[in-house]
Amino acid sequence: MRDTTSARFRAAIEAGDLDAAVLLCTDDVRFRSPVVHRPYEGRDALRAILGAVFTVFSDFRYVAEFSGEAGHVLEFTAQVGDREVQGIDLLRFADDGRVRELTVMVRPLSAAEALRDRMGPLLGG
């Protein structure tokens, strides 16, 4: 079931289908940001964050996947302004197969800073 969820999550993100991606997550999904210390909790928070990501990232594409007992990793590349971003979406699953935690990591630091600077105003920070 986890492989199915990760494949559906990837397809939803690649299609820009925010609602489909969020519906694959638990009600209390936890989102760990690459630029904010405290995690965001719940589907509403995740919907707002993903909506901002769809606005800020351009040329987004997944380039690799890795899977194991602890979770599933989707590697991506994108542009934030003039910065090339390389990152991962780390998915961890609930017992029912839905995503219970999404952790995003990005590099290099200059891209993370550009992401922070562009996302902040969209999320009220």
State pLDDT tens for residues 88-112.
999 999 999 999 999 999 999 988 8
Task: Give the distance between the most distant pair of CA atoms in the chain.
Answer: 40
Average per-residue pLDDT in the chain?
Answer: 91
Q: Which domains does the chain have, with CATH numbers?
A: 2-122 (3.10.450.50)
CA distance 93 to 89: 13
- pLDDT score of 39 more than 70: yes
pLDDT in tens, 43-74: 999 999 899 888 889 999 999 999 988 899 99
**pTM over 0.85, yes/no:** yes
Three-class SS state of 13? helix
Give the DSSP letter of residue 124: T
